[in-house]
Structures are given as structure tokens and as C-alpha cells.
Amino acid sequence: MIDKLKHRLHKNCYKARFEILEQLLHNQTLTRTQLLDKQRRDLAGIVAHAVAHTDYYRTKYGDLVADNANGPDVSRLPILRKDEVINHKEALLANTIDRNDLRTGYTGGSTGKPLAFYYDRHKMELMRAGMCRSYMWSGWRPGQKILNFWGAKQDLKGGGLRKRYGDFIAAEKIIGAYEYTEPQLNDWAKAITSYRPVLLQGYASVLAELASHVIEHKMPMPNTLQGVFSTAEVLYDRQRELIETAFACKVFNQYGSREIPNMACECRHGNYHIFTDMVYIESINAHDEDRLIVTSLTNRVMPFIRYAIGDSGKLKEGDCPCGSPFPMMEMGLCRSNDIIRTKTGKRIYPAYFIHLLDGLTGIRQYQFVQSELEKITLNIKAPIPLEPAILRSIERRIQKDIEQDMIVEINRVDEIKRTASGKHRFVISDIAAS
Ligand SMILES: [Zn+2]
């Protein structure tokens, strides 16, 4: 009864969000052809808007956007790189915006420099509505409880009464998960038991650590749980297994970023569906890598057109048994700065390193770091030091698999630092990509 009342209050408080959600739910009843037609129109619309209202695109696109009945040939438009967004923040801003409604957001800077971008209330509501649509794929319905384990400190600062009231009626709780200890993991597991949420949401690494704790201590989890939404970080198979075992429900991996939210989400059949009513995604093969290029179809404040987001992935043909009309894609397992390189030009993907420690027990966290071509450092957080023989075998395996004279340094550390936005990275290469 109280939950129903709260949901009604929430709906009144966030009218725009629920109106957008209705529209988004309608879109998923369209056929694929209808969706792709809509996407083409939206794409032409956003390009026209950007050229008409921003200095950056007007100058850059010039004659490339000639009048064409079929819309612009997007594949001829230049790619927008992150450093261009950083250097041309003002020129990318549309002159149609209401300056009073303008806020600044930041990406975590996992690829080096943090990137600042502008957004408005509408983008915020659209993002939340888009997330609600994804949540509904698990069986969750608006008004049902969600417990978030949030890794980004920047999102949890301040708040104020209005925000807290908003959280209360939204049936949503947020636990700051940017740093944690063993007793804290225990408290969080208990928080799930007492709050009895329908959904859990959080960073893959945090959810996986919490899941290990739940499994290790055989903690019973509430049967209200219908799904776990993993976000912000690459989700590895091992993490997925742990989470699904601990919480006895399906993991849905979301693909989105702060600057472009809601790009794709996994369905119950494990396929990623692209939200073609929000984004236009291309995959371009460069340097032996399938790089994703993303255009936001909804951001009229600071248009992101053909943006090199730094993730890898491919588009996938065919239909999914889940029946969703949204086309599918495959996510790559890495970002370009997660790739380890050697002096002979080999490139080793993070998946190799993630499986290297498979089967070893007693490791709480780890991170491979490459700061020189000839050297890899493995930092391990382990309550009990690993046997020297195990350390030597890790070193020898890396040398055998990667490069004979690669120097492997293994350190036992107290803590492995997260990025500014709280993400855990398993592999970091500080060597610039060529
Ligand atoms: Zn599907």
C-alpha cells in the first residue's frame, strides 16, 4: 500500500521521466524496419541541428552536409575524438540551450584525461527513463525497489533534502561503494536481506566482490531479486557466474557512458540490443580492432556525432529469440588502453590476463600494469602472501606466452586504487597506443 503511494508521489514528482518512458516503451513495439526508419530520420535531424546551432559542427562539417533527400551521408563525416570534446567544449554547445538549465558532467577519465560535458534536466530524465526500460526487461516494474552499489563518489556528494525525498519515493537506495572492507561487504549483504530489493545495480567489480562474500559466507539472499544490472565496467564471465550464483538471478549488462547513456543492454538471452531510438552505432575496424563510433540521437544540448567512445565491439546480424526489435551487437572485452603491447609488436588483450589467475585462491584483487614495453607489474591484494612457487609460475607463464625476456614484477599491495569514477581496472597500459 505504502509502496503504491510512494510510486504515485514519484510519478507526480518526475512527470517528464514517466512520459518519456511511455514513449520508449511504445518504441519497442515497433518493427525493426520502423525503428531503423526512425533512426535515419533522427540521425538526419541531429546532424542538421548540430550544423545549424553549434560553431563546432558548422565549421567542421562545412560542405559535407549538402541538402540530400535521404539525409546526410554520415559515413563521410569526420570522427569526433575525445580530445576534441575536451578542447572544444564551448563550441560544441548549441546556441538553443537554456543556460539556467545547464549542468556539467564528467567522465571518469579511465582513458587518461577526464572529459567534461554539458547536459540539462531533459537529458537526465531521458537517461533515467531509458534505464527504467532496460530494468523492465528483467521483470522489474516502476515503483519496485532497487538497491544501487555506486562506485562514483562524484554522484554521491551533496544531495540535499529534495534529493533524499526523491530517493525515498523512488523506492531506490544508493550505497556508496567506492572503497570497502570485509566488514562492509558483510553489512551490504545484510542490507540486501533487510531491504529486499527487486533489482541490484552496480559496478561489475563491486557486485562480483560482494557476490564472492555472499557465497563464501553462505549468506541467504531474498527471493524478491529478479535481476542484477551491471554497469560502467567490462563484465567478465567469471564475475557474471559469481553474481548469478550468489543472488540466484540473471545478470543484465548495460552499455552506456556518462556522456552517452543507454546505448545497449543485454536481454534475457544474453544478447546486447542497441537502443536505436537513442543512438546510432557504427563499428570501424582500425589497427586490427573493431572500434565503436557512437552518435547520440537525443542530445541537442551538446551533440555527440560520430564519437570515438574508446570501446570495442561489432554489430550483429539476425534476430534474437527474445523478440526485441532492436538490432544486436557484440561488446569487445576491452578499451584500447587495456591492451598490453610488447617490443616485438604483439598485442595482448585483457582477457588473457584475467584468465591467468583462474583457479588461484586467496587473491582479493589484482591489477596488471604496464608502464614500459619490457615490463609488466602485477599488483595483488591478498590477506596471506602467495607461495613463491606460485609467483614464479605466474612469471614464467607470462614470459612463455608473451615474450621470453619480459620482466614480470609481482607486488603484494594493501589496496588497489580505483579510477576517479570508482571503476576497477584489471589491466592498465600506460604506453600510448600507436
Ligand atoms: Zn534479445
What are the tens digits of pLDDT across the range 181-212? Answer: 788 899 999 999 999 999 999 988 889 989 99
Torsion of CA 235, 341, 78, 259, to 10 degrees: 30
pLDDT at 230: 93
**Is residue 152 over pLDDT 90?**
no
Compute, in angstroms, the gap from residue 87 CA to the centroid of ligand 1.
39
Question: Would you say 376 and 406 are in contact if contact means Cβ atoms under 8 Å apart?
Answer: yes
Mention every residue, 6+ apart, whose C-beta is less than 8 A from residue 241.
none
| 27-41, 58-72, 165-179, 199-213: least confident range | 165-179
| 16-25, 37-46, 56-65, 150-159: least confident range | 150-159
Sign of the C-alpha dihedral computed for residues 416, 418, 423 and 427 taken in this order: negative
Mention every residue, 6+ apart, whose C-beta is less than 8 A from residue 388.
none
Compute, in angstroms, the gap from residue 37 CA to the centroid of ligand 1.
20
**What pLDDT, in 10s, does the model give residues 248-306?**
999 999 999 889 999 999 999 999 999 999 999 999 987 777 889 999 999 999 999 99
Residue ranges per structural domain of the chain = 2-332, 339-429
pLDDT at 434: 43
Compute, in angstroms, the gap from residue 196 CA to the centroid of ligand 1.
27
> Residue 175 to residues 184, 220, 245, 401: CA-CA distances in angstroms?
11, 20, 22, 41
**What pLDDT, in 10s, does the model give residues 8-23?**
767 776 788 899 999 9
Compute, in angstroms, the gap from residue 325 CA to the centroid of ligand 1.
9
Domain 339-429 has CATH 3.30.300.30: yes
Question: Would you say 105 and 302 are in contact if contact means Cβ atoms under 8 Å apart?
Answer: no
- In the three-class reduction of DSSP (H, G, I as helix; E, B as strand; rest coil), residue 81 is classed as coil
Q: Which of 22-31, 79-88, 108-117 has the highest mean pLDDT?
A: 22-31
**Is residue 179 over pLDDT 80?**
no
Compute, in angstroms, the gap from residue 140 CA to the centroid of ligand 1.
17
Tell me the one-letter amino acid at 280: Y
- pTM of the predicted model as reported, rounded to 2 decimal places: 0.81
Ligand 1 ion local residues (Cβ < 5 A):
267, 269, 271, 320, 322, 324
Compute, in angstroms, the gap from residue 154 CA to the centroid of ligand 1.
33
Strands 227-231, 250-255: pairing kind: parallel
CA distance 21 to 10: 14
pLDDT band for position 415 (50/70/90)?
Answer: confident
Q: pLDDT > 90: what percent of the chain?
A: 54
Compute, in angstroms, the gap from residue 410 CA to the centroid of ligand 1.
42
**Is residue 39 over pLDDT 60?**
yes
**Is residue 132 over pLDDT 60?**
yes
pLDDT at 220: 96
Compute, in angstroms, the gap from residue 138 CA to the centroid of ligand 1.
12
Compute, in angstroms, the gap from residue 236 CA to the centroid of ligand 1.
19
DSSP state of 174: E
Compute, in angstroms, the gap from residue 265 CA to the centroid of ligand 1.
9
Compute, in angstroms, the gap from residue 122 CA to the centroid of ligand 1.
28
CA distance 204 to 209: 9
Tell me the one-letter amino acid at 390: I
Question: Would you say 20 and 127 are in contact if contact means Cβ atoms under 8 Å apart?
Answer: no
Strands 264-266, 272-274: pairing kind: antiparallel
Compute, in angstroms, the gap from residue 272 CA to the centroid of ligand 1.
7
Residue that wins the pLDDT comparison between 71 and 282: 282
What CATH number labels 2-332?
3.40.50.12780
**Is residue 334 over pLDDT 70?**
no
**Is residue 176 over pLDDT 60?**
yes
